[in-house]
Amino acid sequence: MPKKDLLKKIDARHQGTILNSISSSYGGTSDDANTVDDFHAYQSPIPNSLLALDEDSKFPDGAMPDTVVRSHDMDLELMKISFQSLSWSQFAIFDNFYSDEKRWDYGGTTPPGFTAPSYYYLCKITDGMLTHGDDETGDRVFTFDSKAYPDITTVLSSTSTSVGSGYLEDTAASWFVDQYKGFVLVDSADTEFTISGCTESPRRLTVTGTPASGAYSIRSINPTVCVGFCTFLDSSNGGYGYTKLEITFDGGTNWQTLLDTSSAINTLGGIVTITNSGVNYMFKVTITNDADGNGPEVYKVLICTDPSVWQ
């Protein structure tokens, strides 16, 4: 969905989650710390005093209140800032895992690209996170399949008032000159036309050919790159087990891996070229218990793509 609408929905629906845990290997009680530039830094928190990092360049235990480190809002706000900073990003899908609303409706059908036996073990949604629930079977695999987000790059849906050779007219529309130049017109017969221009008077889209009359939509060109964000805790950052995040843009025919901690794959926060583009988005999260039955926790997923609003 377009960026401004997504951020409104995120603001309206968010209920935070764990961002990360800050750990420290410092276990001593002495406050003998180095003096740097004539300032003394203490090794444990003291009001109105500088605090020294430990030998691993971390703050000592208790330096940051748990209510801050595990803030329900911080995680969300950092994702929103990251999304807003991508000037070319216009479309995105997001889930904070507080309900099954955005989960695939299994209902006797299997999601695209499922692989047994992981389909039979579904991630549990608990207090804003994906987990294995109480299933502590060693090395067991669990999945979360998102619902389908079809035609996500559609920016306008309406009904034509007239059509003719080389144009579609909609007197109720409000676009400005050439606003949708380069976009795709999909007419009532599902025929696609590249829009070569649009005018205000008359309110027309210029194409090659004759569109069918009736309902139509305008969609952006297919995305070419994406950026994924995901907050999680597993063996790669102080937790247990492994986490995998995959995305499809063609409705599940082809999947692309953005994160797989079992294989040291992590492209989160980086620009990734889409290998099989399309307009029907879905994502899939897979978590795997370790040999002792301890599993990861996944808190939020945000995946955004081009093209920009200035296409």
**What would the pLDDT profile of 27-63 be if each residue is shown by its tens digit?**
344 445 455 455 566 666 666 666 666 666 665 665 5
> Are residue 237 and residue 266 in the same domain, yes or no?
yes
> Are residue 146 and residue 163 in the same domain, yes or no?
no
> Are residue 214 and residue 234 in the same domain, yes or no?
no
Average pLDDT over residues 211-238: 92
- Give buried/exposed letters for 229-238 (b at 16+ CB in 10 A, else e): bbbbbbbbee
> Are residue 136 and residue 258 in the same domain, yes or no?
yes
> Are residue 36 and residue 83 in the same domain, yes or no?
no
> 269 lies in which domain range?
3-16+72-150+223-305
Whether 128 has a pLDDT exceeding 70, the answer reads yes
Note whether residue 228 is domain-resident: yes
Which of 12-16, 44-48, 176-180, 239-243 is least confident? 12-16
> Are residue 37 and residue 181 in the same domain, yes or no?
no
> Are residue 144 and residue 166 in the same domain, yes or no?
no
Note whether residue 300 is domain-resident: yes
Q: Of 173, 197, 219, which marks where a domain is finished?
A: 219
pLDDT in the model for residue 152:
87
Tokens of 80: 């929103």
Average pLDDT over residues 278-303: 94
Tokens of 34: 């180095």
Whether 159 has a pLDDT exceeding 60, the answer reads yes
Instruction: Write down the pTM of the prediction.
Output: 0.70
Note whether residue 184 is domain-resident: yes
> Are residue 236 and residue 264 in the same domain, yes or no?
yes
pLDDT in the model for residue 77:
62
> Are residue 242 and residue 180 in the same domain, yes or no?
no
Find the helix or strand (DSSP H, E) in which 245 lies: strand 242-248
pLDDT in the model for residue 127:
82
Average pLDDT over residues 99-109: 80
Q: What whole-number percentage of the chain has pLDDT above 90?
A: 52
Tokens of 176: 């400005």
Note whether residue 310 is domain-resident: no
Note whether residue 276 is domain-resident: yes
> Are residue 258 and residue 122 in the same domain, yes or no?
yes
For residue 138, give every residue at least 6 positions away whose Cβ sits within 8 Å of its Cβ, in sequence order, or none: 289, 290, 291, 292, 293
Q: How many domains does the chain have?
A: 3
Task: Indicate the pLDDT class of residue 139, thresholds 50, 70 and 90.
Answer: very high
> Are residue 243 and residue 292 in the same domain, yes or no?
yes
Task: Indicate the pLDDT class of residue 274, thresholds 50, 70 and 90.
Answer: very high
Q: What's the chain's length in residues?
A: 311
Q: Of 169, 184, 219, which marks where a domain is finished?
A: 219
Contact 240, 295 (CB under 8 A): yes
